[in-house]
Every structure is written in structure tokens, then in C-alpha cells.
């Protein structure tokens, strides 16, 4: 399982990287962590002509914890997030989800931006970005642009990236006070691709849900923003003793709306059912944590 040949570049500046990528058009791939790309190359599922290794671009290896937002550069590894107290305290959903990405050796190398750019339907980061109302910062030869998370993910393993473009950073706004977060996923084994999962936040004020955000993982087309479920919960009175009905309603909205895929691990009917279960569990977790504020 040796990859097909390619031209390899390891530029030291973003400008150079974008130039090479631009010239390569559809034949160029960005190599960041390589934890998704290299398996595909080794299996010869992909044979790009040009590999642009961005690991030497220091400017991309930055993570900024600011008052209002967290900015994660393209070279920030999953492990990097897990070792940061600021992230743990300020973006608990992101922290919880990152803990469940694969295994230590993968987390040491794989990048958050890479996971988002790859958009595997079972991945954690795309859904977390959507739930947290994140922004994707894109750079190309023509310059920079930014997209809200939901507009970035366009389908299975597909994003709004044009040939010659790459993700250079992600921005996560800080959640309003009173927000609790819950991330759950269910995989056959810990670290496997999730068969289903949910990333939820509930912003509570005086026992009423001011804002609900819910994205479902693993349904087949990428992160699924469960708007109908969010509507059911918004402006609803919720307490840990009295939330079952509301959460069941939300779950029902989810199972009615998702169109999950079939594969060797689970059928679409199982995934649909699981989406409902994950919804309820994520919401329960989020509510409990909102109460902890």
C-alpha cells in the first residue's frame, strides 16, 4: 500500500503555498496532519499530482484565546486544544468533542482545520463548528474570505473550498453566559467513526431556554443542523426535573428530518433512531451544565 507518485512542496509562507495550490488546480492537495489524507493516498483512493505540505508555515501554527472568540490556525493539532485550559473553560463543547477524536497518536498530528476541510460525515469538528456558530477563514490566490460554518459544508466529503483554496483558520465565538454544552457520540468502539452523535448547546436564563443549538453527526451528508428541534426548545421552560417531554419532542423532530445513509456499520433506520437518542442525551448534558453556571 504505497502511494502513487506526486510532487511534494513544503513552502514556508502561506503565499507560496497558495501559489503552488493555485497552479496545481484540481491536482493539488493540502497536507496538514495527514491523518485523513495519507490513508487515502496509501490505499490509492486518491492520487494527487501535487502535495502541498503546510507544516512549515509558522504563521498557521497559532491559537488565540481572546475575550470574544477562539481562533484556531490551520496547524493546531487536536492534542493542542486538549492541553489548553482556556479552551477547556471557554469552549467546553469543542473540548469534549476533541477528546473523542480517534486516539492519542492521531490527535498528536491531526489538525482541527484539517478535519473541517475534509468533512467526513462521522467527524466531530464540523458539527461542533456549526453548533457554535463558527466561521471558516479561507485563503486562496485571490485573497481571503470567510464563511459561516453552515455554508461551508456542502455535502459528503464536500465543502465550499474552490480549487486553489485552503482553510487557514476557524473562529469560534464565546458562548453567552448561561450556556451549557453537551457532546455525545456513539461508535462501535471508542475512537471509531461515529454512527451518530449530537453537539448541543442550551443557553438558559431564569429557567427558560433563550437559545438552542443542535447539530447531528454521522447522518451521511455532513453536519445536520436540527433547526426544527431548536425551535421546539427555544423559549421553552426547562429544568432537569422537567425536560423529558421537550427533549423527546426535539428528538422526534430530528428523527423526522434526518436522511441518514446506509453502510456496513449501520442501516439508515438505525442511524435515524440513534440520532434521536443522541439528541436527548446531548440535550440532557447541556441542560445539566447550563444549570451549573
Partner 1 sequence: MAREQIIRLTVNGRSYERTVPVRLSLADFIREHLHLTGTHLGCEHGVCGACTVSMNGRSVRSCLILAVQADGAEIVTIEGLRAADGTRHPMQQAFLENFGLQCGYCTPGMLITAIELLRENPQPSEQDVREALSGNICRCTGYQAIVDSVLAVAQATPGVEK
Partner 2 sequence: MSDARFVNQRAVGSPVLPDEAIPLVEGDGRFLNDIRLPGMYHVTFLRSQHAHARIRAVDTAKARALPGVVTVLTGKELLGKVEPFRSMPNRFSGGESVQHWLAVDKVRFCGEAICAVVAEDRATAEDAAELIVVDYEPLPVVTDPRLGEQDGAPLVHDSCPNNYLIKREYERGNVDEAFASAHLVVKRRFRIGRKQALCLEGRGCVAGYRESTFGLTLWISHQLPYVVRHYLANHLRMAENDIRVVVPHTGGGFGQKASIYPEEFICAYLALTLRRAVKWVEDRLENMVASTHARDQAIEVAAAVDREGRILALSSDVCVDVGAYSTYLWSAGMEPLQTAGLMPGPYKVPAMRYRTRGVATNKTPVGPYRAVGRPSASASLELLLDEVARRLEIDPVDVRQRNLIPIEAMPYRNANNLVHDNVNYLPCLKLAVAKSQYERLRAEQREARANGKLRGIGVACYAELTGLGTSTAVGPGTLLQPGRDAVTLRLETTGVLSIAAALPSQGQRIMTAMRQVACDELGISLDDITCVINDTAMAPYGFGTFASRTAVFGSGAVIQAAKELRRRILALGAHLLDVAIDEVTIVNSVIQTIDRSKKLAIREMAEKSYFSAKNIPPELNPGFEVTAFYDPKFGSFAGGAHIAVVDVDTQTGEVKIVRYVAAEDVGTIINPAVVEGQIIGGIAQGIGEALLEELVYDEAGQPRTITLADYLVPSALEIPRIELHHANTPSAALGGFKGCGEGSIIGALGAVACAVADALNRRGGDIHEFPATPERVLKGLGVLPGEV
Residues that bind partner 1 (CB under 8 A): 1-10, 31, 34-35, 38-39, 42-43, 51, 53, 55, 79, 102-106, 108-109, 189-191
Backbone torsions φ then ψ of 53, nearest 5 degrees: -85, 115
Between 41 and 60, whose beta carbon lies closer to partner 2? 41
Q: Cβ 267 to partner 2, closest distance in Å?
A: 6
Q: Is 186 in the site for partner 2 (CB under 8 A)?
A: yes
Across the beta sheet with 50-53, the strand order is 7-9, 50-53, 28-31
Site string for partner 2, 26-45 (x = CB under 8 A): -------------x---xx-
Residues 6 or more apart whose CB falls under 8 angstroms from that of 159 comprise 116, 117, 119, 152, 153
265 binds, among partner 1, partner 2, none (CB under 5 to 8 A by kind): partner 2
What are the strands, taking DSSP E only, across 84-207?
Answer: 135-140, 143-148, 153-155, 158-159, 166-173, 179-186, 196-205
Site for partner 2 (CB under 8 A): which residue of 27, 265, 288, 291?
A: 265
Residues 6 or more apart whose CB falls under 8 angstroms from that of 88 comprise 82, 95
Helix or strand holding residue 63 (H, E): strand 63-65
269 binds, among partner 2, partner 1, none (CB under 5 to 8 A by kind): partner 2
Between 7 and 231, whose beta carbon lies closer to partner 2? 7
Q: Is 189 in the site for partner 2 (CB under 8 A)?
A: yes
Q: Is 241 in the site for partner 2 (CB under 8 A)?
A: no
Of 209, 201, 271, 291, residue with least CA distance to 246: 209
Distance in angstroms between the alpha carbons of the first and the last residue of the chain: 51
Between 121 and 164, whose beta carbon lies closer to partner 2? 121
Site for partner 2 (CB under 8 A): which residue of 68, 83, 264, 292?
A: 264
Cβ(168)–Cβ(73) under 8 Å?
A: yes
Determine the 3-state secondary structure of 216 from DSSP: strand
34 binds, among partner 2, partner 1, none (CB under 5 to 8 A by kind): partner 1
Cβ(164)–Cβ(21) under 8 Å?
A: yes
Q: Is 198 in the site for partner 2 (CB under 8 A)?
A: no
Looking at 156-266, list the stretches that DSSP marks H as alpha helix, in order from N- to C-terminal side. Answer: 227-233, 244-257
120 binds, among partner 2, partner 1, none (CB under 5 to 8 A by kind): none
Between 114 and 197, whose beta carbon lies closer to partner 2? 197
10 binds, among partner 2, partner 1, none (CB under 5 to 8 A by kind): partner 1
Amino acid at each position: 500500500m504505497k502511494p502513487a507518485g506526486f510532487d511534494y512542496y513544503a513552502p514556508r509562507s502561506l503565499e507560496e503555498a497558495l501559489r503552488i495550490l493555485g497552479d496545481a488546480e484540481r491536482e493539488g492537495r493540502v497536507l496538514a496532519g495527514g491523518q485523513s489524507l495519507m490513508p487515502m493516498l496509501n490505499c490509492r483512493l486518491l492520487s494527487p499530482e501535487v502535495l502541498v505540505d503546510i507544516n512549515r508555515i509558522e504563521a498557521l501554527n497559532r491559537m488565540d484565546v481572546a475575550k470574544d472568540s477562539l481562533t484556531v490556525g490551520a496547524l493546531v493539532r487536536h492534542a493542542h486544544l486538549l492541553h489548553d485550559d482556556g479552551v477547556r473553560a471557554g469552549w467546553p463543547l469543542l473540548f469534549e468533542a476533541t477528546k473523542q477524536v480517534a486516539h492519542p497518536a492521531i490527535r498528536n498530528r491531526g489538525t482541527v482545520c484539517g478535519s473541517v476541510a475534509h468533512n467526513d460525515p462521522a467527524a466531530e469538528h464540523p458539527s461542533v463548528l456549526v453548533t457554535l456558530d463558527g466561521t471558516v477563514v479561507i485563503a486562496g490566490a485571490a485573497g481571503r474570505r470567510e464563511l459561516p460554518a453552515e455554508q461551508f459544508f456542502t455535502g459528503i466529503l464536500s465543502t465550499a473550498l474552490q480549487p486553489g483554496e485552503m482553510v487557514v483558520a476557524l473562529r469560534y465565538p464565546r458562548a453567552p453566559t448561561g450556556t451549557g454544552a453537551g457532546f455525545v457520540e456513539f461508535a462501535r468502539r471508542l475512537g471509531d467513526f461515529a454512527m451518530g452523535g449530537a453537539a448541543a448547546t442550551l443557553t438558559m436564563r431564569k429557567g427558560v431556554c433563550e437559545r438552542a443549538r443542535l447539530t447531528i453527526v454521522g447522518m451521511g451528508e455532513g453536519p445536520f443542523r436540527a433547526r426544527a428541534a431548536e425551535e421546539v426548545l427555544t423559549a421553552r421552560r426547562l429544568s432537569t426535573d422537567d425536560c423529558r417531554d421537550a427533549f423527546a419532542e426535539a428528538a422526534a423532530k430530528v428523527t423526522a428530518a434526518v436522511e441518514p445513509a446506509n453502510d456496513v456499520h449501520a442501516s439508515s433506520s438505525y442511524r435515524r433512531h440513534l440520532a434521536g437518542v443522541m439528541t436527548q442525551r446531548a440535550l440532557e448534558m447541556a441542560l445539566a451544565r447550563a444549570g451549573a453556571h
